[in-house]
């Protein structure tokens, strides 16, 4: 249902995604999950801050115009990483303190970006409507507006009314953010713990159609247990593997130590939000082990051919990202509206 919340279940800690695209606790009291108060709804700020959505859109579009190749991927990834730890509560934006290391300083979040865009939008909103618009809603709107910029229309509607979380722990980000090395069984379990199913997993993985990754995040695919020369994962297209080794280093150890060189996650269409990621998957050109893992499950593999059609992908992504945006949201009296997205209110 449009306004329903996603229930989070218990999970075994695992190491999760360290890259773009596209996201484990039981609904614990005070832990930032579940259905509290009114459900999310469209145009939540229609009366309390009528300019809210326009403010975010204008700032995001101006910044994307200056960085069209990278910023949409950064803001979409920021939204994913936020929702996969404590739900979509902007906990990823909180800075570390002398007594607590926050999510953003966990290893999987080390390459996140777009914080400055959120800061700018929030500062303007505080000047226009102080204490009204949550940082969590700004993150959700910014992701949608950035990705939609190339289309001239909204790719999905954003339901609003999230409130901001009060806790941010690096240890939780380390445990709950998907890893590019995860196999399908781990991915399915982790997504299920967020109330997301196999279909959501496959479609949200399509967020890897934009953005880049550094060589060290996929170096293991360029090697094999029987070779030190980089013979590589047999599921990886040989010609593509050769291109990656040329960029990252000729040996597995060279690639594993290369955290400076970036390569597109969707070769051939790195800056366009399109269905080309799924075309590449079928050709053995998924960059991460977690991408290739989608082909190892009959249900997931059966979805990929249809998702190579652009309009079908966009329609399905709209549904999946809206569902993800309801994971663990705080509403009603839960959480707070932060004045500064980087710190809880004093």
- List pLDDT tens digits, range 144-202: 999 999 999 999 999 999 999 999 999 999 999 999 999 999 999 999 999 999 999 99
Binding-site residue set for substrate: 178
Specify whether 81 is catalytic. yes
Q: Are 138 and 203 in contact (CB under 8 A)?
A: no
Binding-site residue set for Ca(2+): 82, 85, 87, 89, 91, 103, 209, 266, 274
Residue 18: pLDDT band (50, 70, 90) is: very low
Q: What are the domain boundaries of the chain? A: 51-211+265-325
Give 92-126 pLDDT, tens digit per residue. 999 999 999 999 999 999 999 999 999 999 999 99
Give 294-311 pLDDT, tens digit per residue. 999 999 999 999 999 999
User: Cα(237)–Cα(248) distance, rounded to whole angstroms?
Assistant: 16
Per-residue model confidence (pLDDT) at position 20: 39
User: Cα(302)–Cα(299) distance, rounded to whole angstroms?
Assistant: 5
The pTM assigned to this predicted structure is 0.88
Per-residue model confidence (pLDDT) at position 279: 98
Per-residue model confidence (pLDDT) at position 119: 98
User: Cα(230)–Cα(249) distance, rounded to whole angstroms?
Assistant: 9
Residue 231: pLDDT band (50, 70, 90) is: low
Binding-site residue set: 82, 85, 87, 89, 91, 103, 178, 208-209, 266, 274
CATH 1.10.520.10 fits 51-211+265-325, yes or no: yes
pLDDT for 4 beyond 90: no
User: Cα(192)–Cα(184) distance, rounded to whole angstroms?
Assistant: 12
* Helix residue spans in 166-237 (DSSP H): 170-176, 184-192, 198-205
Residue 252: pLDDT band (50, 70, 90) is: confident
Q: Are 84 and 112 in contact (CB under 8 A)?
A: no
Residue 346: pLDDT band (50, 70, 90) is: confident
DSSP 8-state code for residue 94 = P
pLDDT for 30 beyond 50: no
Catalytic residue among 81, 214, 276, 312: 81
pLDDT for 52 beyond 90: yes
Counting beta carbons within 10 angstroms of the beta carbon of residue 75, is it exposed (0 to 12), middle (13 to 18) or buried (19 or more)? Answer: buried
Proportion of the chain above pLDDT 70, given as a percent = 86
Q: Are 4 and 33 in contact (CB under 8 A)?
A: no
- DSSP-derived 3-state class of residue 337: coil
Average pLDDT over residues 16-36: 35
Residue 225: pLDDT band (50, 70, 90) is: very low
User: Cα(173)–Cα(70) distance, rounded to whole angstroms?
Assistant: 23
Q: Are 13 and 186 in contact (CB under 8 A)?
A: no
């Amino acid at each position: 249902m449009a306004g329903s919340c996603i229930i989070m279940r218990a999970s075994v800690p695992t190491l999760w995604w360290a890259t773009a695209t596209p996201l484990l606790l039981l609904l614990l009291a005070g832990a930032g999950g579940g259905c509290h108060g009114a459900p999310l709804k469209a145009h939540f700020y229609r009366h309390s801050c009528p300019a809210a959505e326009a403010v975010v859109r204008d700032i995001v579009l101006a910044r994307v115009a200056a960085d069209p190749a990278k910023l949409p991927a950064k803001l979409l990834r920021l939204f994913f990483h936020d929702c996969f730890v404590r739900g979509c509560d902007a906990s990823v934006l909180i800075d570390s303190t002398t007594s607590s290391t926050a999510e953003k300083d966990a290893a999987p979040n080390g390459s996140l970006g777009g914080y400055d865009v959120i800061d700018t939008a929030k500062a303007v909103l505080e000047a226009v409507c102080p204490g009204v618009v949550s940082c969590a809603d700004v993150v959700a709107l910014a992701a949608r507006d950035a990705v939609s910029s190339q289309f001239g229309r909204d790719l999905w509607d954003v339901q609003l009314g999230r409130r901001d979380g009060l806790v941010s722990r690096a240890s939780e980000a380390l445990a709950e953010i998907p890893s590019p090395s995860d196999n399908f069984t781990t991915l399915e379990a982790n997504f299920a713990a967020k109330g997301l199913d196999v279909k959501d997993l496959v479609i949200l993985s399509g967020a890897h159609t934009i953005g880049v990754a550094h060589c060290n995040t996929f170096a293991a695919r360029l090697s094999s247990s029987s070779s030190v020369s980089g013979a590589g994962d047999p599921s990886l297209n040989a010609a593509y593997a050769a291109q990656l080794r040329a960029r990252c280093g000729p040996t597995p150890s060279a690639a594993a130590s290369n955290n400076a060189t970036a390569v597109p996650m969707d070769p051939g269409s790195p800056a366009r939000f399109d269905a080309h990621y799924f075309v590449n998957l079928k050709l053995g050109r998924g960059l991460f082990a977690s991408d290739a893992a989608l082909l190892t499950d009959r249900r997931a593999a059966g979805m990929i051919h249809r998702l190579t059609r652009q309009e079908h992908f966009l329609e399905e992504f709209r549904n999946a990202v809206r569902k993800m945006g309801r994971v663990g949201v705080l509403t009603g009296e839960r959480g707070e509206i932060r004045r500064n997205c980087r710190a809880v209110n004093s």
